[in-house]
Amino acid sequence: MDIDVSALPSPCYIVDERLILRNLEILHSVQQRTGCRILLALKGFSMYSVFPLVGKYLKGVTASSLFEAKLGYEEMGKEVHIYAPAYVEEDFEDILTYCDHVTFNSFAQWNRFKDRVKHHQTKKISCGIRINPEYSEIETPIYNPCYKHSRLGVTLSNFQPEELEGIEGLHFHTMCEQNSDTLERTIKVVDQKFGQFIKTMKWLNLGGGHHITRPDYDIETLVRSIQFLQDKYGVTIYLEPGEAVALNTGFLVASVLDIVDNGMKIAILDTSAACHMPDVLEMPYRPNIIDAGKPGEYPNTYRLGGPTCLAGDVIGDYSFKKPLKIGERLVFCDMAHYTMVKNNMFNGVNLPSIALFNEEQGIKIIRQFGYGDFKTRLS
C-alpha cells in the first residue's frame, strides 16, 4: 500500500480511486461486449463523492428505498431503478419522481400502485415484478433470498400472468459474492420456470451478487449467459452489483488503544466490528490486515476487539511479526462495500472518517463525524 496512513485521522475509511477505476473498466468491458446495462447497487456502496467517476462507466444506480433513489438521482443523474419488498404509501409519489424503473415484490403491490404509475405525468416509468426461482446456492440463510418461506419475490406457483398488463420486466436476485457458474445454473432454472413470461418482456434484471471484479471471476461464462438470454428472448439485460464496483478498493485504518492479557494478548482498537464493519459479525468473515497473518503464522498473536461494551465485539485473531504497540496503526482490507452503508453509533462510538485517494490530489478527507451526528439521530 502506497498511501501514508499516518496522515489520516483514526479510525478512517479510505477509498483508492485508482482501484475503483480498475473495477469500473472491467464492468464497462462487459457492457461493451454484451450490450447489457450495469447499475451500481447503492445498498452496497453509496459513497457519492465517487459517483461522477462511476457515472462515466455505468448506466446508473439501483435503490432499495426512497432515500437511496433520491441520492442516485441527485448525485449521478442517470438511470434510477428501485426495488423494495413493499413500498410506503407516503413515499411513492417521490419514488416516481426520482425513478425510471420500479420493480414490485408482489402482484398485490403492483395492483395497489399501478394506477399511480400510469397517471404519473412527468415521465414514463417501466415497471417489473421480482420473481423467486426457488433456487440459490447461498449457504448462509440470512443472505439467501430463496430460503424457505422467503418474503422476496413471486414463486411460480404464485405467479399471476393475468396481471402482467403494464409489466415490462422481470427481476431476480439469488446470488451473494458468487462466480458466474452459479449464475449460469440459476439461469437454467429461471428459463425453465419463467421463460414463457420472459418472452413477453422488454427487460430482465439479473440482480446483484455477481463478483465480476474478483481476480478469479469467469467473465466468459457471464458473457455467454447474458448473450443466451438476449438471443433467446430479445430482452435488455440489467445487472446491479454493489460489491463488484467497490470490491478491494477501500481500507479501514485503525489504532491500538490498549493491550490486555486474559489467556492471550488482546488488543483493543478504536474501531468496532459491531459499529464499523458489522458484516464481520453477520456474515461472518475475517477481514485481512496488511502485514498480518493467521494465528501462529507469525510470532505474536493477538485477538483484536473493539471499544464497545458488547462482549462479542471481536474482529478476530491475528499474528504479527513484531509485538503491537499502543498507538500503532492497523489497515483492514476490502472495507469500502457494506461498511459505510451499514455502520452505526452503538454506545455513542464515533463513526470513522471518510477519505478518498487519487494520484492528482493525494489524500482528501471527505467527511468527519462528531457528537452532532450522534445526537441528531436520537430524540
CA nearest neighbour of 332 among 285, 280, 290, 363: 290
Q: State the pLDDT at residue 122.
A: 83
Q: Domain spans of the chain? A: 5-14+250-335+343-375, 35-246
Alpha-carbon distances, residue 178 vs 48, 268, 280, 332 (angstroms) = 26, 33, 18, 22
Q: Measured between alpha carbons, how far is 44 from 351 in angstroms, rounded to an integer?
A: 18
**Residue 161 DSSP code:** G
**What angle is formed at CA 47 by the lines to CA 144 and CA 215, rounded to 5 degrees?**
60
CA distance 25 to 132: 31
Instruction: Compute CA 223 distance to the chain's CA centroid, rounded to the nearest angstrom.
Output: 22
The pLDDT of residue 171:
98
The mean predicted confidence, pLDDT, of the chain is 97
CATH 2.40.37.10 for domain 5-14+250-335+343-375, yes or no, is: yes
75 — phi, psi (to 5°)?
-100, -20
CA-based nearest residue to 130, from 162, 84, 166, 163: 84
Cα 101 to Cα 51, 82, 122, 124, 138: the distances in Å are 19, 6, 14, 9, 27
Q: Would you call 323 exposed, middle or buried from its count of C-beta atoms within 10 A (0-12, 13-18, 19+)?
A: exposed
The length of the chain in residues reads 379
Give the pLDDT of residue 121.
78
Q: Which residues contact 330 (CB under 8 A, 6 or more apart)?
A: 253, 254, 255, 256, 269, 289, 290, 292, 304
Q: What secondary structure letter does DSSP report for 208?
A: S
Looking at domain 35-246, its CATH superfamily turns out to be Alanine racemase (3.20.20.10)
Which portions of the chain are predicted below pLDDT 50?
Answer: none
User: Please, what's the b/e burial string for 142-159 (b: 16 or more CB within 10 A of its CB; e: otherwise)?
Assistant: ebbbbeeeeebbbeeeeb
pLDDT of residue 1: 83
Q: Torsion over CA of 218, 220, 226 and 229, rounded to 10 degrees?
A: -110
Buried b (16+ CB within 10 A) or exposed e, 260-290: eeeeebbbbbbbbbbbbbbbbbeeeeebebe
